[in-house]
Amino acid sequence: MIDVQKVNATKDRILTMIQTAGPSFPTRVSRETGISPLFVSALLAELVSERKLIMSSMKVGSSPLYLIKGQEALLENFTQYLNAKEKEAVSLLKESRILDDEKLDPALRVALRKVKDFAVPITARIGEEEKLFWKFFPLKDEEAHKEVTSMMKLKTPQQKAPEPAQLAQELIEKVVSTPSVQEKEEIEKPHPKIKKTKEKKESAFALVVKEYLKAKDIELLQEIAIKSKEYHARIRTDTPFGKQEYLLIAKDKKKVTEDDLAIALHKSQTEKMPSLIIAKGDLDKDAKIYLENWKNLIKFEKLKL
């Protein structure tokens, strides 16, 4: 029979050791505490599930690092274990604080997706298009959003002030085109108003998604965004463990990319609930790998029509 009191005391020893030594891998914890490596691995997994420890994405050899919340900055001491491109990505991100994913070369884009301990995805909207940015992990969200907003403003073309000659021409045109008294009276005469009726049309894609949800007995809680080729909503479904809410992101796309999943993950973390991505198309190669790494927070389902 397992001695629960003894197990809890051993867990406390591990927590004390990590609190003192900082982020550690299982072999080091075993060496410092004198606990067998197999038992250490099991206890570390339990401490992560109890949210007393955090497991890093970065690996030392084949093992992740375990740390207490608040020790994230100490992970920089282990960047020597990253490959050359990943080190370059972390260094560039630390220097720039914010990076526009679109402007980076493909190798850096891939590297940033792998250094999840240091690179945090941020999404921004330009019209109907969503853009992906990366922030260095210690940067506060408020500061990051200010910097992203500033970067987006620089992209917007500024309207040039009119030249003096142009102003003079506009003034002449204004004088010439000024209506006479008679014309003014004609203009000011009341004319019968023609009522324009605007017919509100729902996106055809949204209707398809809602029918799909209905057929699957998935409850629609709240519509968040309806576009011609995208539909966001809060949904709820039954699971063996009770009701589970999801952030639904439906896309009318032939291929779902890694960027789509990175944006969905960011939204999922913001809304504090897992995301369900539904799309007409399939996941591309990189997206499949990304989904496997984040399968606890992102689900994918192909929209079968």
Tell me the per-residue pLDDT of 144-157, one tens digit each, with 9 for 90 and over: 888 888 887 765 55
Q: Is 265 helix (H, G, I), strand (E, B) or coil?
A: helix
The predicted pLDDT at position 305 comes to 66
The domain 82-155 is placed in CATH, from the list 1.20.120.530, 3.40.50.11540, 1.10.10.10, 3.40.50.1950, at 1.10.10.10
C-beta separation of 36 from 95 below 8 A: no
d(CA 105, CA 102): 8
Q: 257 phi and psi, to 5 degrees?
A: -100, 170
- pLDDT tens-digit map of 5-30: 888 899 999 999 999 999 999 999 99
Give the pLDDT confidence of 249-265 residue by residue, as tens digits.
999 988 888 888 888 88
Looking at residue 201, its pLDDT comes to 58
Architecture of the domain defined by 204-302: 3-Layer(aba) Sandwich (3.40)
Assess whether the region 4-78 and the region 82-155 belong to the same CATH fold: yes
Half-sphere exposure of 10 (CA within 13 A, CB side): 18
Domain definitions of the chain by residue range? 4-78, 82-155, 204-302
Q: Does domain 4-78 have CATH number 3.10.110.10?
A: no
pLDDT tens track for 41-94: 889 989 998 999 999 989 888 889 999 999 999 999 999 999 999 999 999 999
Distances (CA, A) of 97 to 18, 87, 89, 120, 130: 28, 15, 11, 10, 20
pLDDT in tens, 208-262: 899 889 888 899 999 988 888 889 999 998 887 788 899 999 999 888 888 888 8
Q: 3-class SS at 136?
A: strand
Q: Are 233 and 219 in contact (CB under 8 A)?
A: no
